[in-house]
C-alpha cells in the first residue's frame, strides 16, 4: 500500500441493490477509493460459476452518491474478472471485499457461496480478499454491529497483507452482543438435503431444494462454534484444493494398467 | 463393498447427450449397476453452483439400452444432490464418477469445473468420488485410450476406498501415447482473462470471456507437468478449504476493536 488511498473492489452475490453491499461500500469509503461491481440480480448459491455460454453485460450505474458502480449480468466470479480486466485494466485493486452476505457462509458453505467465491477469485487474481457474511437471511438484516469489525479487518489486511494464496472468510452472529474475533478452521458441517416435490398445473412434478445444516464437529476451534458463542469467526481459506496428505496413500497403490 | 455389484452414480457437466458421459457410463456398466443423472443442457464452468432461485425438473429418459438415466434441469451439483436424495433415497451409491469432461480440469480449473464440482459434492455426501477429464474440448473427442485407466482407477477406489474427505481429479492427455499414471498436486496455474468486447445491433456493448491458461509452477510433481509429459494426472482433492498454516499468522495480529 502506498500513501495514496487504497483502491477497493466491492462485490457481492445478493445483487447490486442489496442492503448488505450498501453497508459494505459505505464502510470501505472511509478507507479508500471504492469501485463496486455487483450482479444485476441475486446470485446466491452460484459458487465459483463463470458465464461462458452467453455474453456478459456491464453497465455503469449511479445509485449511491460519490461511489463508482457497475451492474453486471454475470455471476459473482464474473464480476471480479470483469472488474480486474475491464475496469481496473490490469492495475490490481489493493483490496477485494465481498458481501455483506445476507446469510451465513460458515463450514462447507464456502463452496456454494457466490459471496465467498468472489473473494476466492479476488485471491486467485492476487488481490488481498475478504468475504463477509451475517447470520440473517432477510432483506431487513441489521448490519450496524458488524461495521467496526469490517473496518478493522480491512485495515489489518491492507497493513499486514495475507499469507500467499489465502483469503479470509468472516462471519458475524446476528445481534449486537459480540464477544470479539476468533481465528478458526472451517467446521466439518454439511447440508442434509431434501427436495420439496410439487405438481405444476400440467401435472408434471418439480422440486425445490431444501435441507438442514448439520455440524458434525465438536471442536471449539471452528467457525460454527465461534458463531454459536457470539464471536466473529475468521477462517483463512486457500484455493489449492490438493489433499497433500493423501498423496503418499495413493502412491502406495499398485496400478494394473 | 459387498459381494453384490456396486451401485455407481454417473454425472457430468457437458449434458446428458455428451459423448464423454456415454463413454464413462459404458465403462462403469462393466463394473456395476449404473445410474446416470446428468444436466439436460451444457453446464461447463458452473463450478459448485446450486439452483435455489427456481425449481428443478427431473425426467427419466431412455437413451442407452439397459442404463437407468435421468435428465435434470439443474447444475452438476444439483444432479448429485437430487440423485442421492430422490433416486438412491439416502442409500448412498458405492461410487460417484463425473465426466468424462470434454476439456482439461487441471490446476485451478477444479474450482470452475462443473465436472469436478459434481465429484466434490459426491465426496461431501460421503461417496468415494472421481472426476475424469480429457485434453480435447471438441464433441468429436476420442476417449478410447482413457477407458482402461478409468476402469482401473474405479476398481482401485472401490477396493481401497479413499482417505476421509478426499476425492480424485483425473486428467488425460489427448492421443494414445500414455506413459502411465502420476499422483500429483494441483499446479499453481490460473487464467489470464480477457474479454472480447462486441457491439449488439442496438449499439450496446457485450462481452465474451476469454483468456490464456498460465502455469506459474516449475514443479515436476504437478498435474500440468504430468499432462505435458504424457502421463495421466491423478490429484487427490479435499473440500476443507481452511488454510491451516495461516491460522498462527492471523492469531499474531492485534485487533483494535
Tens-digit pLDDT profile for residues B44-94: 999 999 999 899 999 999 999 889 999 999 999 999 999 999 999 979 999
Do the Cβ atoms of A151 and A27 come closer than 8 Å?
yes
What pLDDT is attached to residue A170?
A: 98
In a domain, B213, yes or no: no
Q: What is the pLDDT of residues B156-171, one digit of tens each?
A: 999 999 999 999 999 9
Q: Is the dihedral of CA A44, A49, A50, A52 positive or negative?
A: negative
In a domain, A245, yes or no: no
Gap from B256 CA to chain A (nearest CA, Å): 7
In a domain, B199, yes or no: no
What pLDDT is attached to residue A4?
A: 86
B38: its cell numbers? 446428468
Q: What is the mean pLDDT of residues A129-144?
A: 97
In a domain, A192, yes or no: no
- How many angstroms separate the Cα of B40 from the Cα of each of A97, A123, B58? 35, 33, 9
Using CA atoms, how far apart are residues B22 and A145, in angstroms rounded to an integer? Answer: 53
Q: Which residues of chain B have pLDDT under 50?
A: 1-2
Which of B39, B47, B53, B105 to mutate against chain A (most A CBs within 10 Å)? B47
In a domain, A211, yes or no: no
Q: Is the pLDDT of residue A1 over 80?
A: no
Is residue B147 reached through a cis peptide bond, with omega within 30 degrees of 0 on the bond before it?
no
Q: What is the dihedral of CA A206, A213, A16, B112, to 10 degrees?
A: -80
Which range of residues forms the domain containing residue B245? 7-186+220-251
What proportion of chain A, given as a percentage, has pLDDT over 90? 94
In a domain, A246, yes or no: no
Residue A59 known to bind ligand: no
**A51 contacts B45? CB cut-off 8 A:** yes
Residue B256 known to bind ligand: no
What is the count of structural domains for chain A?
1
**B50 contacts A49? CB cut-off 8 A:** no
Which residues of chain A have a CB within 8 Å of the CB of B156?
253, 255
Q: What is the CATH number of the domain that holds A95?
A: 3.40.1210.10
In a domain, B195, yes or no: no
Residue B13 known to bind ligand: yes
The chain A residue lying nearest B126, using CA atoms, is A190
Using CA atoms, how far apart are residues A4 and A27, in angstroms rounded to an integer? Answer: 18
Using CA atoms, how far apart are residues B77 and B239, in angstroms rounded to an integer? Answer: 14
Q: Is the pLDDT of residue A3 over 80?
A: no
B255: nearest CB among A111, A181, A185: A181
Which residues of chain A have a CB within 8 Å of the CB of B184?
247
Which of B160, B164, B187, B242 to mutate against chain A (most A CBs within 10 Å)? B242
- How many angstroms separate the Cα of A247 from the Cα of each of A165, B106, B117, B233? 21, 16, 20, 12
Residue owning grid cell 446428458 = B16
Which of A43, A47, A146 to mutate against chain B (most B CBs within 10 Å)? A47
- Number of Cβ pairs < 8 A linking chain A and chain B: 233
Do the Cβ atoms of B238 and B165 come closer than 8 Å?
yes
In a domain, B204, yes or no: no
Amino acid at each position: 500500500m502506498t500513501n495514496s488511498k487504497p483502491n477497493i473492489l466491492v462485490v457481492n452475490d445478493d445483487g447490486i441493490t442489496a442492503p448488505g453491499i450498501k453497508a459494505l461500500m459505505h464502510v470501505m469509503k472511509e478507507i479508500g477509493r471504492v469501485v463496486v461491481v455487483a450482479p444485476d440480480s441475486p446470485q446466491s448459491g452460484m459458487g465459483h460459476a463463470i458465464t461462458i455460454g452467453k455474453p456478459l453485460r456491464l453497465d455503469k450505474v449511479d445509485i449511491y452518491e460519490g461511489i463508482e458502480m457497475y451492474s453486471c449480468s454475470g455471476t459473482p466470479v464474473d464480476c471480479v474478472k470483469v472488474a480486474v480486466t475491464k475496469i481496473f485494466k490490469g492495475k490490481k485493486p489493493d483490496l477485494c471485499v465481498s458481501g455483506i452476505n445476507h446469510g451465513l457462509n460458515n463450514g462447507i458453505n464456502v463452496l456454494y457461496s457466490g459471496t465467498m467465491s468472489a473473494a476466492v477469485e479476488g485471491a486467485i487474481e492476487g488481490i488481498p480478499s475478504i468475504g463477509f457474511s451475517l447470520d440473517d437471511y432477510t432483506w431487513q438484516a441489521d448490519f450496524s454491529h458488524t461495521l467496526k469489525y469490517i473496518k478493522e479487518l480491512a485495515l489489518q489486511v491492507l497493513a499486514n497483507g495475507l499469507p500467499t494464496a489465502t483469503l479470509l472468510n468472516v462471519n458475524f452472529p446476528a445481534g449486537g452482543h459480540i464477544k470479539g474475533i476468533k481465528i478458526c478452521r472451517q467446521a466439518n458441517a454439511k447440508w442434509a438435503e431434501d427436495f420439496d416435490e410439487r405438481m405444476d398445473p400440467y401435472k408434471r412434478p418439480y422440486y425445490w431444494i431444501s435441507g438442514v445444516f448439520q455440524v458434525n464437529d465438536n471442536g471449539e476451534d471452528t467457525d460454527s462454534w465461534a458463531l454459536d458463542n457470539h464471536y466473529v469467526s475468521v477462517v483463512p481459506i486457500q484455493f489449492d484444493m490438493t489433499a497433500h496428505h493423501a498423496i503418499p496413500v495413493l502412491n502406495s497403490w499398485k496400478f494394473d494398467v
